[in-house]
Structure 1
Amino acid sequence: MRKTKRRRDFARSATLLLQTVELSIWNESSSSPGKGQNSEFGTVYETRRCNETSEKALLEAGNNTMSINCTHAFKGATTGSKSVVCLITYLEDILNGSFFNNKIGMQEVKLNSHIVSATIGLKEKVYLPEPIVLTFQNTQPGGARTKHICVSWEGLQEEGGRWSTEGCSHVYSDNSHTQCKCYHLASFAVLMGLTHKEDPALTVITHVGLTMSVLCLFLAALTFLLCRPIQNTSTTLHLQLSLCLLLAHLLFLTGINRTEPQVLCSFIAGLLHYLYLAAFTWMFLEGLHLFLTVRNLKVANYTSMGRFKKRFMYPVGYGIPAVIVTVSAMIGPQNYGTYTHCWLKLDKGFIWSFMGPVGVIILINLVFYFQILWILRRKLSSLNKEVSTIQDTRVMTFKAIAQLFVLGCSWSLGFFMVEEVGETVRLVTSYLFTIINILQGVLLFVVHCLLNRQVLMEYKKWFTGMWKGVKTESTEMSQTTIHTKEVRSEHLESL
């Protein structure tokens, strides 16, 4: 408690110091703009009138630069006739990386630049329609496991202050410099985060398993498209689910680690959010379809099945995920993409925009399945167990429950992959989560294709036809070769 209070008091003092230095240097140098230094505060700075030559102004202080659009900076600002902007570099480290709270996925975060302040003489934060471009000199080069984070200092009443990424984005980094874009004027810095070392065994399992899953999903999708004897509503549902998972797994394999540029990473995270939500929505539709099928056995009414197929499937399957992702992106666009992966940020509860709908779908499907089992138990007790319709429905129930386990329970393991559960439990959970999830495509192919008698019969016809075609082609080639040899022989004899 005492440590927290000291930390809060230190942050408040730092916030006050930054504000004092900004106003003091700006007031002193605004009448005669130019470069200078202030030994009292340990700073170097440059002040410039924005309207001297053009709309754009470039300032440099202590090997750090800032480009600013003057028109936007002073629009609506009441600074009198002084259209002056100031860039200040603090040569001493007033703050460090410990005031950055979003350290998920990183072992350590530290300051990797001087702190710079950009001001036009106003105490309050100034927001801009066009970003300023800041180029920082790195205090040390980065590495393969490092991430550069552009931050600004945010004074808070309850915490005293903290480093925040709100309104700032990373553009690029090399061994000597880092460039950032920010949509406000404040005090800025570059933090360098050391990411966790990836488990090589888990990485291999993920890539090999996902590759197998993608192959199985591709074969399953081809089967559902080309196998005519099984074309029905169930096949359509299986096909859409397979396509969603196929695209999601492919994007995961190729884009989950593409954290730069940030805009691309955010797009990948949003698309993954949509594809996985769509997969769960189609799983919900499969549960609903199975429930209607079993219920129709009891009421002998198939009219609802036609309405289900025509009116609801595609709008629900692809529309609901689109609405969820659109609303989520409007509320928190900055929560798409982390410093280590292109996925949703776990802080501020944003992950519930994915886990919430998934949990609801799993619960609804559980209700469907319990009702299905109850109806089947009563129906089977009064009918011959060899009736094909009942037997097929029992198989459908088994398949759906198996699918629910893999698609539903595996994601529920994600709740235990947090720091609080301990390293050993988290590691075991990570392996279980990864293995079960990457085998989703394999399970769909096995359950809906290899365990389906009609599909196996079609496979047999396809392979038999292909074999006959290859055999016929081989025979024709042999006959052609023999004929050619005979012609050559006759030609030689005539010579």
Structure 2
Amino acid sequence: MAWGAMFNGHAASGSWTGPRLQWHVNCLELLTVRLALHHFRALLEGRHLLVQSDNTATVAYINRQGSLRSSCMSKLTRHLLLWNQDHLRSLRAVHIPGKLNRAADELSRQPSRPGEWRLDPEMVQLIWELFRYAQELFVCYGGQQRLSHWIVDTIVLDYQTTGQCGNNLLDQIANITAEVLPLTDVKTILDVVFNTSEKALVSSSADPNKLVSDGNRVLKASEKLVSLLVKPTDTTANVSFTLDTVEVEVFMVGQNVTLDKIPRLDTTNSSVDIDLIGIAKNNSDGSAAVAFMSYNTMENLLKPDFFNTSNDTIKTMMSTVISATLPKTTNPKLTKPVNFTLKHIREFDPSGSLFCVYWNISEWIVDGCSVLETNSRFTVCSCVHLSTFALIMQTSPSESDSLMELLNLVCVIVGLVFFSLALLTFALCQWSPGVNNVARINLCVSLLLAHLLFLLTQQFLIRIRPQKVLCDVISGVLHFLFLSGFVWMSIEAVLLFICVKNLSQISSKKREVLSSGFLCVIGYTVALVVVSVSVGLFPEGYGSKHCWIKIDKGFIWSFLGPVCVILALNTILFINIIINLNSTLKNLNAEVSQMKQTKIMAFKTLAQFVVLGCPWILGFFTKDSKTLEILFLIMNSQQGTFIFLVYCVLNEEVRQQYRKCFRCLCCGRKQH
């Protein structure tokens, strides 16, 4: 039995001897392809290759990059793919009928020629033993397997991925004996490791022991894989890459290093300062390496609840989980403490306590780590050893004040009812031509929607908070609605000031101060511009734990800044209104005095203190005062109530229309 192949007029052939004479014909056909590629290597280097074979199994195994039906053909396919990765740009196969494949077929029928070359079986076995992990390592993910080591193409299988597959993968990684792996292979395996762990998390999320076990295995596997990026160097070398689930920085120094200090190793949310030069000097070969990893999803496995402190506290993971190791370093003893800078990934609570912790088999502990510096954006931790670290904030549960919660709920609901009544009155009642209700109507609409959305958000916060996008959108909409409400308060203050200034002319001149369209443009455009600029400059500022604006980096001032300006303007206008109203009422003639009752006008003006939002100033002083907090809650939740009283109940024309409406309702009931 023999084999044969043709390439551009060049021929290659040989004979089958020994155990291969007992092989299945499909295995021999695939082995022929492998031998032909080796024979024509000089002609094929760097090309796209199309193999024509009259054996359908050979074509299928090459195109599908293997299968589980035949172990013999699977092994041969792996050899082909490994060789292809180093020598060809691509490898595909097509079926050719036997009658069209006569040249190669004739070669396979020839006896072997003297001196025909063949691979030395012992050398092949030695190479295969050296890289045996490539034979064994399959990475399972999403119904697929990936063969790593020069190969990142997927092999579609006929079965679904199970949790057992993920466990086998981590075991295979732990058993890798190679010293160095290519970067592409490490990235490929790491990516699938974390994706597989996320799938397994669904079934183990309720079992703390399973979470701890999986977390330890994933940490061990990732540290092992990253250590395979470390290779000898005389001076310095570094490797870095970023995946969706992890960021990696590896820095290596050799005995001829000229640096006094290595650069800080940075990831998106963390960085590390380590005296790697000093560590290298303590090693006999004068070399050392540090691997720094920042895990974006590890907190789902190594939860902050594993920080064993008093049970009556709330633990929050304030940073990404990070790991720092000294792979392939003979003497890993630190010469000085290592400093980690951890960016806060959640809203910082000034009343909470921050702890720099490290993972110790089954729990987070603080031994050997301390907080050097902290602010609202980041914390610097100092540790005397290397491990897996994180930043955990511990806060006392907020005291549940049922009375305040009930008062808040009742006040907001009452305010919403009166906002609705005011809007119905503005819409259904007939108003004199000189009355401009545009600002009041839009003020009611903005605050009604803002209070309603905020109330619903807080009632369903547990369900909304995990949906980050929804929470961010809600906080942005609330920002816009409350800001537009304040802008309309300012417009109302300006209109009232103009009205009071022109009160002496009211009997002779009735006019609309500004057009409705122009007021609407001002009322909503200002708020929209502020929110748009805020989103453009710092989109991460939305979505606090209450689905409101975060206080990070002073972003809260995108709301407080405009509010402070508007409140200051409204307060100044309110004072001027009182002064001008007092002066105007003294000079009014009898005709005007009969038209406007002085006491009612004064009450309306005083009520404007609430309508114009001036009580919001109390919000800056409620932190340490329960009384001011209650007063702030009542006054600002009842803006709708005061609008309804001032502009509806105390308006004689509106009251007459109310009486007429009630009479009609009463007469209708009597008739029935």
Greater CA deviation, 447-456 or 292-301?
Answer: 292-301
Residue pairs, 1:410-425, within 5 angstroms:
410-418=615-623, 425=624
Structure having greater relative contact order (Cα 8 Å, sep ≥ 6)? 1
Partner of 1:466: 665
User: Residue type matched to 1:369 in 2?
Assistant: F
Return closer, same or farther for 1:291/1:189 CA change in 2, 3 Å cut-off: same
User: Residue type matched to 1:211 in 2?
Assistant: I
Partner of 2:484: 278
Partner of 2:443: 241
Q: Verify the 8 A CA contact 2:578 2:605 in the aligned structure 1.
A: no
Return closer, same or farther for 1:348/1:192 CA change in 2, 3 Å cut-off: closer
Q: Verify the 8 A CA contact 1:385 1:391 in the aligned structure 2.
A: no
Q: Verify the 8 A CA contact 2:320 2:390 in the aligned structure 1.
A: yes
Q: Verify the 8 A CA contact 2:500 2:580 in the aligned structure 1.
A: yes
Matches of 1:145 and 1:259 in 2, distance apart? Answer: 20
Matches of 2:666 and 2:649 in 1, distance apart? Answer: 20
Partner of 2:320: 152
Match for residue 222 of structure 1 among 412, 424, 435:
424
Matches of 1:397 and 1:130 in 2, distance apart? Answer: 66
Q: Verify the 8 A CA contact 1:410 1:436 in the aligned structure 2.
A: yes
Q: Indicate the SS of the match to 2:515.
A: helix
Partner of 2:301: 137
Q: Indicate the SS of the match to 1:387.
A: helix
Q: Indicate the SS of the match to 2:514.
A: helix
Return closer, same or farther for 1:151/1:388 CA change in 2, 3 Å cut-off: same
Query: Residue deviations 1:93-122, cap 9 Å, x none?
Result: xxxxxxxxxxxxxxxxxxx97597779767
Partner of 1:200: 402
Partner of 2:17: none
Q: CA deviation at 1:138?
A: 5.4
Greater CA deviation, 236-245 or 403-412?
Answer: 403-412
Q: CA deviation at 1:330?
A: 1.8
Q: CA deviation at 1:446?
A: 1.8
Q: Verify the 8 A CA contact 1:151 1:190 in the aligned structure 2.
A: yes
Q: Verify the 8 A CA contact 1:293 1:305 in the aligned structure 2.
A: no
Matches of 2:162 and 2:242 in 1, distance apart? Answer: 18
Partner of 1:350: 555
Q: Indicate the SS of the match to 1:229.
A: coil
User: Residue type matched to 1:295 in 2?
Assistant: K
Matches of 1:280 and 1:206 in 2, distance apart? Answer: 21
Match for residue 443 of structure 1 among 635, 642, 646:
642
Return closer, same or farther for 1:438/1:81 CA change in 2, 3 Å cut-off: closer
Q: Verify the 8 A CA contact 1:265 1:337 in the aligned structure 2.
A: yes
Matches of 1:392 and 1:333 in 2, distance apart? Answer: 52
Indicate the structure (1 or 2) with the bigger Cα radius of gyration: 2
Return closer, same or farther for 1:215/1:307 CA change in 2, 3 Å cut-off: closer
Residue pairs, 1:36-185, within 5 angstroms:
51-53=152-154, 84-86=188-190, 126=242, 134=297, 136-137=300-301, 151-152=319-320, 160-165=340-345
Q: Verify the 8 A CA contact 2:449 2:481 in the aligned structure 1.
A: yes
Q: Which segments of 5 or more consecutive residues in structure 1 lack a partner in the other structure? A: 1-28, 37-45, 67-77, 90-111, 167-186, 419-424, 475-495
Partner of 2:29: none
Matches of 2:341 and 2:664 in 1, distance apart? Answer: 73
Partner of 1:368: 573
Q: Indicate the SS of the match to 1:234.
A: coil
Return closer, same or farther for 1:338/1:245 CA change in 2, 3 Å cut-off: same
Return closer, same or farther for 1:278/1:154 CA change in 2, 3 Å cut-off: farther
Return closer, same or farther for 1:378/1:209 CA change in 2, 3 Å cut-off: closer
Query: Residue deviations 1:434-481, cap 9 Å, x none?
Result: 222222222222222222222111110100011112222x1xxxxxxx
Q: Verify the 8 A CA contact 1:150 1:188 in the aligned structure 2.
A: no
User: Residue type matched to 2:631 in 1?
Assistant: L
Name the structure where helix makes up a greater proportion of residues. 1
Q: Indicate the SS of the match to 2:190.
A: strand
Matches of 1:123 and 1:307 in 2, distance apart? Answer: 68
Return closer, same or farther for 1:325/1:382 CA change in 2, 3 Å cut-off: same
Q: Verify the 8 A CA contact 1:47 1:84 in the aligned structure 2.
A: no
Matches of 2:447 and 2:420 in 1, distance apart? Answer: 10
Matches of 1:366 and 1:348 in 2, distance apart? Answer: 29
TM-score by length of 2: 0.46
Q: CA deviation at 1:62?
A: 9.8
Matches of 1:81 and 1:62 in 2, distance apart? Answer: 17
Residue pairs, 1:208-357, within 5 angstroms:
208-230=410-432, 233-256=435-458, 257=461, 258-297=464-503, 306=512, 308-339=514-545, 341-357=546-562
Q: Which segments of 5 or more consecutive residues in structure 2 lack a partner in the other structure? A: 1-130, 140-145, 171-181, 195-210, 230-237, 248-294, 324-337, 347-387
User: Residue type matched to 1:214 in 2?
Assistant: L
Partner of 1:452: 651
Partner of 2:118: none
User: Residue type matched to 1:444 in 2?
Assistant: I
How many residue pairs match? The answer is 371
Q: Verify the 8 A CA contact 2:322 2:389 in the aligned structure 1.
A: no
Return closer, same or farther for 1:336/1:221 CA change in 2, 3 Å cut-off: same
Query: Residue deviations 1:147-173, cap 9 Å, x none?
Result: 875842589xx984125328xxxxxxx
TM-score by length of 1: 0.61
- Indicate the percent of aligned positions where both proteins have the same amino acid: 31
Matches of 1:47 and 1:146 in 2, distance apart? Answer: 44
Q: Verify the 8 A CA contact 1:292 1:305 in the aligned structure 2.
A: no
Q: Indicate the SS of the match to 1:337.
A: coil
Matches of 1:146 and 1:313 in 2, distance apart? Answer: 48
Return closer, same or farther for 1:153/1:82 CA change in 2, 3 Å cut-off: closer
Q: CA deviation at 1:276?
A: 1.0
Partner of 1:73: none
Matches of 2:573 and 2:445 in 1, distance apart? Answer: 24
Partner of 2:367: none
Matches of 2:631 and 2:428 in 1, distance apart? Answer: 34
Matches of 1:144 and 1:211 in 2, distance apart? Answer: 33
User: Residue type matched to 1:284 in 2?
Assistant: S
Partner of 2:608: 403
Q: Indicate the SS of the match to 1:468.
A: helix
Q: Indicate the SS of the match to 1:161.
A: strand
User: Residue type matched to 2:558 in 1?
Assistant: S
User: Residue type matched to 2:408 in 1?
Assistant: T
Query: Residue deviations 1:103-146, cap 9 Å, x none?
Result: xxxxxxxxx97597779767557376999984733555999996
User: Residue type matched to 1:383 in 2?
Assistant: L
- RMSD, aligned CA: 4.9
